[in-house]
């Protein structure tokens, strides 16, 4: 009688422990999905802004009307990539470096501290940002459980 009661209680404890583990796993998966969605949305926003910029070095007049991203946005990109398994954080670092370069040139020309000649590397920096963001978008939206390759564009 005592052994039967002990076995039942042990089984209940084991079932409760398994339920708790299941709830924790579901919460973790939901949190990861939310972060992955936030990363995909942020990458999409940056891609849209980048697409609106000229492919070739812009003129001073073109720079005056450009919208660029704040540093907080770039910091958030790096933060989110470190939280999503299967996303190569080096891609975010490359994208951020290129986007910062573009943003600094735009600010410098607007502020009069840089000449238009400082934009000679514009096409390469824009292309680096584009490639890195494209690869990040691919990784951020990869299906769970699907094989994920880390493709880092060459500098």
Query: What secondary structure, in 3-state letters, does the chain show?
Result: CHHHHHHHHHHHHHHHHHHHHHHHHHHHHHHHHHHHHHHHHHHHHHHHHHHCCCCCCCCHHHHHCCCCCCHHHHHHHHHHHHHCCCCCHHHHHHHHHHHHHHHHHHHHHHHCCCCHHHHCCHHHHHHHHHHHHHHHHHHHCCCCCCCCCCCCCCC
Single pTM value for the model? 0.78
Structure confidence at residue 20 (pLDDT): 87
pLDDT of residue 81: 95
pLDDT in tens, the chain (155 residues): 778 888 888 888 988 888 888 888 898 899 999 999 999 999 999 999 999 999 998 888 888 888 889 999 999 999 999 999 989 999 999 999 999 999 999 988 888 888 877 889 999 999 999 999 999 999 988 754 444 444 444 45
């Amino acid at each position: 009688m005592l052994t039967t009661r002990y076995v039942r209680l042990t089984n209940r404890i084991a079932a409760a422990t398994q339920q708790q583990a299941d709830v924790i796993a579901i919460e973790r998966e939901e949190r990861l999905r939310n972060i992955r969605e936030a990363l995909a949305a942020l990458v999409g926003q940056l891609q849209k802004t980048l697409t609106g910029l000229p492919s070739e070095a812009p003129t001073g007049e073109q720079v005056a009307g450009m919208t660029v991203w704040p540093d907080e946005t770039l910091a958030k990109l790096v933060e989110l990539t470190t939280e999503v398994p299967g996303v190569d954080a080096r891609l975010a670092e490359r994208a951020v470096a290129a986007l910062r370069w573009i943003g600094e040139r735009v600010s410098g020309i607007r502020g009069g501290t840089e000449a238009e000649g400082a934009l000679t590397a514009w096409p390469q920096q824009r292309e680096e940002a584009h490639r890195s963001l494209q690869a990040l978008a691919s990784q951020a939206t990869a299906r769970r459980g699907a094989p994920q390759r880390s493709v880092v564009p060459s500098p």
